[in-house]
């Protein structure tokens, strides 16, 4: 028993013994035996591979999250509202106060047109206004006078009618009395003539004295004269009646004329209102003339940079464009994103704007998304209802405004190409 070897000694054979083994057990021994150095190297390699794989997975995840956290496009440019400055009146340009690409403030006088013709127009309009105001004032004074006069005439003519009626009654009474006196005188005359005839017969017969006859003759003559006087009085009374009737007719005519007084007052009031309207018209013409005089000085509507096409000596017409003001402080970005990029894009999302010209990056945010694709705003929008229709991904303009103070140096100019990145989170 002491000469027996432990069982494990068989596996610890030398390489030479393995080579001598007729059963080829040397290959099994090579595979089964691995040195510690090789085992450590393999373990390290596996660890490195695992670490690299984890890093790649984690990095890929974060890269995917980063790339999916924003949308970008290179179809974008800086935009701004250009302010064309045109003439509002015609005239001869006597002064241009700015040069090309000059920075101007809002309200700066850019161009001056010869104001002499417009100064004359203002003076003429002022004179016309003063004349119209004087006319209106005189008519306004006439209206109450006409109204008062009309009322007085109505009262006066009404009293004239009353007086004329009373005069007619009095004249008719006088005529009646005169007629009665005439009849009395005629009766007396008949008696006197009869008496004279009787006394004539008696005096011829010498039955009465001549003195008695003379008295009868005188009485007859007197009665005849009385008849004539009474007839004259009756004729005069009739004339008085006719005169009273004429006065009544005149009074009625005057009253009818006075009754047209309210119409005359209305006419005066209408003339006064027309004069007031004329004053307002003349005042409006004066204001227009003053405005035209102001328009001879063309001012900058906004603060910005000027591009001009006007020179001294040019005769301009209303509506003719003379300058363009570019408000560089109000520049924004118009980015034409594909419709497939707008799924998660919202107003207010932050954006980085990379400027091609300077390489700078400015901060901004989404202000609005257009209501239609860009081609629909063109003069001839595309018509897709054709037999060879091919679906094309459309682009929709997105307005991105800069954060305050991002473009202080005004280096972002309208028309520049930019690349915006809109962060969707």
Q: What gap in Å lies between CA 410 and CA 414, rounded to an integer?
A: 10
Q: Give a yes or no: residue 130 inside a domain.
A: yes
Residues 310 and 396 in one domain: no
Same domain, yes or no: 11 and 46: yes
**pTM, whole model, 2 decimals?**
0.57
**Do 141 and 268 have their domain in common?**
yes
Q: Does 309 reside within a domain?
A: yes
| Residue 66, in any domain of the structure | no
Residue 210 lies in a domain: yes
CATH of the domain at 410: 2.40.30.170
Question: Same domain, yes or no, for 50 and 15?
Answer: yes
Residues 122 and 265 in one domain: yes
| CA 355 to mean position of chain CA atoms | 42
> What confidence score (pLDDT) does residue 13 get?
41
Q: Do both 201 and 262 map to the same domain?
A: yes
**207 lies in the same domain as 317:** no
Q: Euclidean distance between the first and final Cα of the chain, in Å?
A: 83
Give a yes or no: residue 67 inside a domain.
no
Here the CATH number for the domain that contains residue 302 is 2.40.50.100
From 306, 323, 340, give the residue that closes a domain.
323
Q: Are 415 and 396 in contact (CB under 8 A)?
A: no
SS3 of 25-39: CHHHHHHHCCCHHHH
Distances (CA, A) of 90 to 86, 111, 176, 295, 301: 11, 13, 90, 10, 19
Asked if residue 2 is part of any domain, the answer here is no
Comparing C-alpha atoms, which of 139, 114, 227 is closest to residue 181? Answer: 227
Domain boundary among 323, 344, 373: 323
Residue 333 and residue 302 share a domain: no
Per-residue confidence (pLDDT) for residue 6, from 0 to 100: 43
Same domain, 169 and 243: yes
Tens digit of pLDDT per residue, the chain (425 long)?
A: 334 444 444 343 444 444 444 444 444 444 556 677 777 887 888 888 888 888 888 777 766 666 567 899 999 999 999 999 999 999 999 999 999 999 999 999 999 999 999 999 999 999 999 999 888 887 765 655 556 666 666 666 677 677 777 777 877 777 787 788 777 777 777 877 777 777 677 767 766 677 777 777 787 777 788 778 778 887 777 777 777 777 777 777 776 666 565 666 666 767 778 888 899 999 999 999 999 999 999 999 999 999 999 999 999 999 999 999 999 999 999 999 999 899 889 999 999 999 998 889 999 999 999 988 877 877 777 666 666 667 788 899 999 999 999 999 898 999 999 999 999 87
Structural domains of the chain, count: 4
Report the 10 Å Cβ neighbour count for 289.
Answer: 20
Together in a domain, 268 and 136: yes
Same domain, 110 and 128: no
For residues 298 and 338, state if they share a domain.
no
Domain of residue 232, CATH code: 1.10.287.620
88 belongs to a structural domain: yes
- Boundaries of domain holding 345: 72-80+327-423
| Domain annotation covers residue 414 | yes
């Amino acid at each position: 028993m002491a000469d027996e070897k432990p069982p494990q000694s068989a596996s610890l054979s030398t390489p030479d013994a393995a080579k001598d083994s007729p059963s080829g057990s040397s290959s099994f021994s090579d595979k089964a035996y691995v040195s510690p150095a090789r085992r450590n190297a393999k373990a390290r390699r596996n660890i490195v591979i695992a670490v690299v794989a984890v890093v790649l997975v984690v990095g890929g995840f974060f890269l995917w999250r980063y790339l999916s956290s924003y949308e970008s496009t290179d179809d974008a440019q800086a935009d701004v509202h250009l302010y064309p400055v045109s003439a509002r009146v015609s005239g001869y340009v006597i002064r241009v106060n700015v040069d090309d690409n000059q920075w101007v403030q809002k309200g700066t006088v850019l161009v001056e047109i010869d104001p002499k013709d417009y100064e004359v127009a203002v003076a003429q309009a002022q004179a016309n206004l003063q004349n119209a105001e004087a006319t209106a004032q005189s008519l306004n004074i006439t209206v109450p006078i006409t109204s008062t006069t009309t009322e007085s005439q109505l009262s006066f003519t009404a009293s004239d009618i009353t007086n004329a009626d009373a005069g007619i009654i009095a004249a008719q009474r006088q005529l009646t009395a005169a007629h009665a006196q005439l009849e009395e005188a005629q009766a007396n005359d008949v008696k006197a003539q009869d008496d004279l005839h009787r006394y004539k017969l008696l005096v011829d017969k010498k039955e009465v004295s001549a003195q008695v006859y003379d008295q009868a003759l005188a009485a007859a003559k007197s009665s005849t004269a009385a008849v004539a006087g009474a007839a004259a009085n009756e004729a005069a009374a009739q004339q008085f009646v006719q005169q009273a009737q004429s006065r009544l007719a005149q009074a009625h005519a005057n009253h009818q004329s006075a009754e047209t007084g309210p119409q005359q007052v209305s006419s005066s009031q209408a003339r006064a209102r027309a004069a007031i309207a004329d004053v307002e018209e003349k005042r409006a013409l004066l204001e227009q003339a003053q405005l035209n005089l102001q328009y001879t000085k063309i001012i900058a509507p906004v603060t910005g940079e000027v591009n001009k096409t006007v020179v001294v000596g040019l005769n301009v017409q209303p509506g003719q464009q003379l300058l363009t003001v570019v408000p560089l402080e109000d520049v924004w970005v118009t980015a034409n994103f594909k419709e497939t990029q707008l799924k998660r894009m919202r107003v207010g999302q932050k954006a980085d704007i990379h400027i091609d010209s300077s390489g700078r990056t400015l901060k901004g945010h989404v202000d609005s998304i257009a209501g239609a694709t860009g081609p629909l705003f063109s003069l001839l929008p595309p018509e897709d209802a054709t037999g060879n229709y091919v679906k094309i991904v459309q682009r929709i303009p997105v307005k991105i405004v800069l954060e305050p103070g991002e473009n202080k140096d005004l280096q972002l100019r309208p028309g520049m190409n930019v690349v915006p990145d809109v962060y969707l989170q």
